[in-house]
Amino acid sequence: MKVISIETGNFKLDGGAMFGVVPKSMWQSLNPADENNMCSWALRCLLVDEGDRKILIDTGMGNKQDARFFSHYYLHGTDTLQTSLAAHGYTPDDITDVILTHLHFDHCGGSIIRKDDQLITAFPKATYWSNPLHWEWAIQPNEREKASFLKENILPIKESGQLDFIDVPEPDMHPTHYLANVPFSRHISLRIVHGHTRAMMLPQISIEGRNLVYMADLIPSANHIGLPYIMSYDLFPYTTLQEKKVFLREAIENDYWLFFEHDIHTMCCNVQQTEKGIRKNKQGTIEDWLQSIG
C-alpha cells in the first residue's frame, strides 16, 4: 500500500477571510500577507494506492476557467494534478476512485477538464464519490456559497455516468464521532462534518491502528489548529468550533496525524495539549507518519 501527497499548485485568498475573527496582528506572523492582504495556500491532494484500487482524494482547482476567474485567486507554482501524478508514475487512467470531500471549486475543479470545447472527466475510468446530502446542497446552492459551487465543475460528473454516493446520516448526532463506511476501500473511512459546508467528508486512512486524517476545510492548515482560528468562509462557525474541539481531543488521545490540504509549509502533524491550548506537536511528511507505524 502507498499513500502519496499530490501537489496541484498554490493559490491566494484574503488573509482576513481565512482567519476569521482572529486579528491580523496575530495571524500575520503565521502566514504573511502580500500588499493586497492575500496569503498563499496549497492545493494538496492525496493518493491512496491499495493495489487494486487507486483512490484520489480531492482534485485541486484545475485550470479550465478564464483569466478573469484566476485574477481573483492567483493560481501559481509549477505543480499540476497531472504532472504530480506522472511524477509518481501514475496516469489518469490508473485512478479507480475519486473521493471529493466537498464540491467547492478549489477541491473539485480538477475533476473536470476542457477538451475540444467539451467538459469531460479528468479520470475516465474512475468512480467519483460524493454523498446525497452534500450533492443536493451543491446543485441548489445558497446565496453565500454560490460562488464556490461552479456548475462546470459539478454537473459534468453526473452527466458522465461516473458519479456515485456514499450514504451518510442526517446531522442528528455529533458528526465527528460518525465514521461512514467506504465500500471500495480496506483502509479509508469518512468523518462527516457540517460547519464549513453541509456534509463535508474527511477521509481517515488507517494502517495497523495508526490514523492519518485528511482535514479538508475543517482545519485547512496547521495555523488553524487553535480553536478561534476559523475561516469566514464557514457557513456555521460555531458548529466548526464544536467539531474541532471534539476531533482534536480525539486526535490527542489516539495520536492521529493530520494532513493539511491548504498549508503551504506543513503537510502533516500530530497535536498536543499545552498550557495555551491544543497546538501542533511533531510535523513532517506522509513518510514520517508511515515511519511512525513501523
Highest mean pLDDT among 57-61, 64-68, 165-169, 174-178: 57-61
Q: Across 143-267, where does the E strand assignment appear?
A: 163-165, 179-181, 188-193, 200-207, 210-214, 257-259
pLDDT digits (tens, 9 = 90+) for 134-163: 999 999 999 999 999 999 999 999 999 999
Cell matching residue 179: 465514521
pLDDT of residue 175: 58
What sign does the CA torsion over 121, 126, 130, 132 have? positive
Tell whether the model's pLDDT for residue 48 goes beyond 90.
Answer: yes
Tell whether the model's pLDDT for residue 170 goes beyond 90.
Answer: no
What sign does the CA torsion over 246, 252, 258, 262 have? positive
Range of the domain at 250: 2-293
Helical axes 151-159 vs 132-139, angle rounded to 10°: 130
pLDDT of residue 172: 61
CATH code where residue 272 lies: 3.60.15.10
pLDDT digits (tens, 9 = 90+) for 81-134: 999 999 999 999 999 999 999 999 999 999 999 999 899 999 999 999 999 999
Averaged pLDDT for residues 5-30: 96
Please check whether residue 122 is in contact with residue 110, taking contact to mean a CB–CB distance below 8 angstroms.
yes
pTM of the model: 0.96
Give how far Cα 55 sits from Cα of 1, 49, 107, 115, 186, Å: 11, 6, 15, 24, 11
Weakest mean pLDDT among 33-42, 83-92, 115-124, 174-183: 174-183
Q: Count the domains in the chain.
A: 1
**222/30 Cα distance (integer angstroms):** 10
